[in-house]
Structure 1
Amino acid sequence: MNVREKEALQIVRSLVDSGFRAVFAGGCVRDRILGVEPKDYDIATDARPEVVQKMFDRTVAVGAKFGVIGVVLDHDKPIEVATFRADAEYTDGRRPSSVRFGAIEEDAIRRDFTINGMFYDPLAEHLIDLVGGMRDLRDGVLRAIGNPAERFEEDHLRILRAVRFAARFNFTIEPATWDAMKLAAPKIVAIAAERIGEEIVMMMTEGAAARAMDLMMDSGLMQLLLPEVVRMRGCAQPENFHPEGDVYTHTRIGVAMLPAGCTETVAFGILLHDIAKPQCRAVTGDKVTFYGHTDDGAVMAANMLARLKRSRAVQERVAYLVKNHLKLCMAPRMRPATLKRMLGEDGFGELMDVAFMDAMASSSYLGYWHFCKRAMSTMTPTEIRPPRLIGGEDLKQLGFTPGPRFKEILKDVEDHQLDGALETREAALEYVRAHYAA
């Protein structure tokens, strides 16, 4: 039993000892049944929010008007305790206009999918399944609770959540639920970009990103949210370099290699590494080229991630991965200084990951990748990024005036240092005296 489960159990026991009903609810119940350690625990109870706040010393009003209170025990992260409720009409496609506290039966039928609508009494060790969730877990089916059109109308984000859950668990989406998803898909644009971005990140990093891509495509969601990805379909590539097929097929094969728990930057790096190929494709005689797709792709990737409200750091890292994903191919022919600079770049480890998936999704040639791997394992961090032999103050003392030339001289000296031609400060100063006039 991990720490979070112990804390959740402690909260349940406190509520029950005070005369209330309290159970685990939602995703943690589903994950326990599937043998997956829950990321977190949610508790449902008939105790009112104000009562929960009085019972525990440290609480956070996560969503008090919706009956949700965060209880903080030994760790700073709160465990959500929600009062059994029935929801009033949803007017914004995201949240109910109001709630009415009610019974566990009402709480079950207001939830999204049957596999997320079960409860578990940890004290009695008893599953409470009022919506057929256990049946659908056994059968590998994702089914909306009640009328699927109504569930998606209540909260449009559930359309994306359906894709994520079906992909993550490799479940079939029940036909009526699938039909309702496709009809409701255009309404997803009304949801805040941050929420959409968060769902897509989870799809890409939970270990079933290729299946999520398929469902996004087939439901019409990709066309609405990431139309640039759709344009890769049918963008033909030279068979000698890409026997696997068009740009989309190549990208999907790479995405299928993403492991659960990968970073979002690696995930978007492989998804978007060839995103500009359709607009850069040119045919001259029998030759097909994609000149400039790495530079254009870096700009496109950053713009797409900005649209999804991902952080500036994520935008910049993914742009770096897209811009440089072919750079490793030149590694065996690089001068030592250029190679060391590349190995020392912030993000080079993730660039190696993207380059590996890119290669395995096409010709499977990994000679340059293994070359970089050997270089990384045989060189120390100090060899890759040694302390500078000289700096700006040294150039001033040699009679140089500060300006753009400083950068040129210092880079030249550093190149020779990384090449192994200059090893001491004295040698570097002598090199400058011999090759540059103050």
Structure 2
Amino acid sequence: MSELLNIAQEIASTLRKAGHLCYFAGGCVRDSLLGLSPKDYDIATSATPQQVLDLFPHSDAIGAHFGVILVKYRGVGLEVATFRVDGNYNDNRRPDSVTFSSPEEDAKRRDFTINGIFQDPITGEIIDYVDGEKDLDAGLIKAIGTPAHRFQEDALRLLRAIRFATKLQFQIDPITWQAIQEHAHLLSSIAVERIQAEFNQILLSPHRARGIELVVSSGLAQHFIPELVDLIGCEQPPQFHPEGDVFVHTRIMLDMLYDTPSLELCLAVLLHDIGKPATYTYDPSEDRIRFNGHDKVGAEMAESILRRLKYSNKTIEAVFDMVLNHMNFMNVRFMKTAKVKRFMARPHYEEEMELHRVDCASSNGITENYDFLRDKEKEFASEPLIPPALLTGKDLIAQGLQPSPKFTKILESLQTEQLEGKVTSKEEALAWLSEHYLL
């Protein structure tokens, strides 16, 4: 038994000893029934928020208006919520009011049946008012009650349905799916920070390719990342991309990524060809489709998209660089040694290598550039790719040069000689400087 479960059971026992009914609720019950280890435990109870605070006086009333108290116990914080019925939702996000109620009424105001199951925290008995256990067994995401009402109450549930279907590899109930499509426009009323959090979980799932398909086919993409829709039907030169249009190519790449890729890599793969529709041209004389400059255009579009969705500067910069550089791999076998080393020393090199691997594997299957760089890694393994500089600005001044912007070019040229193995010591560097700049 996990320590977290022990703590949750002790909180539940305290509530029960005080005469209150309480159950485990939501995701922890769902995951337990699926044989997964819950990452958190939510407790639903008949105790009012004030009664919970009286029993656990060091807790935080994070959502007392909605009946939610963050109970702090033995160094852990768990949410304890009073059984409730929600009032009207006028902002497609949260109820205007709540009324404390019974377990059955509380279950029926939740989002999906698989999240509406209660469990006795001590005996493990299942209390299921919404047939959630049946839908778990059937692998089905189904809204509780009338799907349209659930989505009108909180429009983020539209994207949450996709996230659960992606993560659990469940199907979405046809009536629920129809309601998602019909109410996709409601997502526009949700703060982008909340949308981003759900979208990130879809991208980080091992089944991210299916998740992106659902985001697009549901109509939700149109309301927060419409650029993805433009990839559908954007044809590519069949000699290089026999797999199909840009969206198909992107989906296959997402599916091919190695285990546990970073969020930045997932976003870079998703957006690496986002500039192709805008740069599409067809040359009838060559019977050839081209996307000249799509890497630069795509990097700028990726930056704009990610800023709109309020990603961090760190994430935006990483994705921008990966999208901008993804076409440079075609040139690596023709680069001089110094340029190859600088190419390999860039901060996102390993992630760019993975992007390049799946880019090739999903289309033409050619791995020459990838293999070349892996061989170079072995060749250069005995020393740093970018060794310490042989000379600094102080050395240039000591040799009689006047400080100027020209120093940057001098030191970069010297570094190139060093990376090429033509200059290997400070003495040789000073001799090179004398020959090229002190005469």
2:351 equivalent in structure 1 = 350
Letter in 1 for 2:83: F
The one-character-per-residue Cα deviations of 1:351-395 (angstroms, maximum 9, x if unpaired) are 112111111111122222122233334534852131111111111
1:33-182 equivalences under 5 Å are 33-56=33-56, 58-75=58-75, 78-182=77-181
2:418, 2:128 → 1: CA distance?
A: 69
2:399 equivalent in structure 1 = 398
1:43, 1:393 → 2: CA distance?
A: 65
Give the conservation status (yes or no) of the 8 Å contact 1:206–1:259: no
1:335 equivalent in structure 2 = 336
2:359, 2:350 → 1: CA distance?
A: 14
1:161, 1:265 → 2: CA distance?
A: 21
Letter in 2 for 1:156: A
Q: Equivalent residue of 2:324, what SS?
A: helix
Corresponding residue pairs, total? 437
Shift of the 102–169 alpha-carbon distance from structure 1 to 2, 3 Å rule, reads same
1:207 equivalent in structure 2 = 206
2:89, 2:334 → 1: CA distance?
A: 62
The one-character-per-residue Cα deviations of 1:260-313 (angstroms, maximum 9, x if unpaired) are 643211111111000001111222222322111111111100110111111111
2:383, 2:418 → 1: CA distance?
A: 12
Letter in 2 for 1:56: F
The one-character-per-residue Cα deviations of 1:84-115 (angstroms, maximum 9, x if unpaired) are 11111111100001111121111100100001
Give the conservation status (yes or no) of the 8 Å contact 1:281–1:290: yes
Structure 2: which 5+ residue stretches go unaligned? Answer: none
Residue 57 of structure 1, CA deviation:
5.3
Shift of the 260–154 alpha-carbon distance from structure 1 to 2, 3 Å rule, reads farther
Fraction of identical pairs, as percent: 42
1:14-25 equivalences under 5 Å are 14-25=14-25
Shift of the 384–151 alpha-carbon distance from structure 1 to 2, 3 Å rule, reads same
Letter in 1 for 2:397: K
Shift of the 19–297 alpha-carbon distance from structure 1 to 2, 3 Å rule, reads same
Shift of the 134–223 alpha-carbon distance from structure 1 to 2, 3 Å rule, reads same
2:215, 2:278 → 1: CA distance?
A: 22
Deviates further, 147-156 or 28-37: 28-37
Residue 423 of structure 1, CA deviation:
1.7
2:330, 2:77 → 1: CA distance?
A: 48
Letter in 1 for 2:80: V
Residue 150 of structure 1, CA deviation:
0.6
Structure 2 length-normalised TM: 0.95
Shift of the 273–381 alpha-carbon distance from structure 1 to 2, 3 Å rule, reads farther
Give the conservation status (yes or no) of the 8 Å contact 1:53–1:59: yes
Letter in 1 for 2:143: A
Q: Equivalent residue of 2:299, what SS?
A: helix
Deviates further, 310-319 or 416-425: 416-425
Residue 221 of structure 1, CA deviation:
1.2
Shift of the 182–5 alpha-carbon distance from structure 1 to 2, 3 Å rule, reads same
Shift of the 343–174 alpha-carbon distance from structure 1 to 2, 3 Å rule, reads same
1:136-285 equivalences under 5 Å are 136-258=135-257, 261-284=260-283, 285=285
Structure 1 length-normalised TM: 0.95
Structure 1: which 5+ residue stretches go unaligned? Answer: none
Shift of the 4–222 alpha-carbon distance from structure 1 to 2, 3 Å rule, reads same
Give the conservation status (yes or no) of the 8 Å contact 2:257–2:354: no
1:370-409 equivalences under 5 Å are 370-380=371-381, 382-409=383-410
1:44, 1:262 → 2: CA distance?
A: 35
1:365 equivalent in structure 2 = 366
Letter in 1 for 2:331: M
Q: Equivalent residue of 2:265, what SS?
A: helix
**Cα-Cα RMSD:** 1.8
1:187, 1:385 → 2: CA distance?
A: 51
2:108, 2:3 → 1: CA distance?
A: 30
The one-character-per-residue Cα deviations of 1:118-176 (angstroms, maximum 9, x if unpaired) are 11112111111110001111111111001111101100111111111122222221122
Shift of the 172–320 alpha-carbon distance from structure 1 to 2, 3 Å rule, reads same
Deviates further, 223-232 or 106-115: 223-232
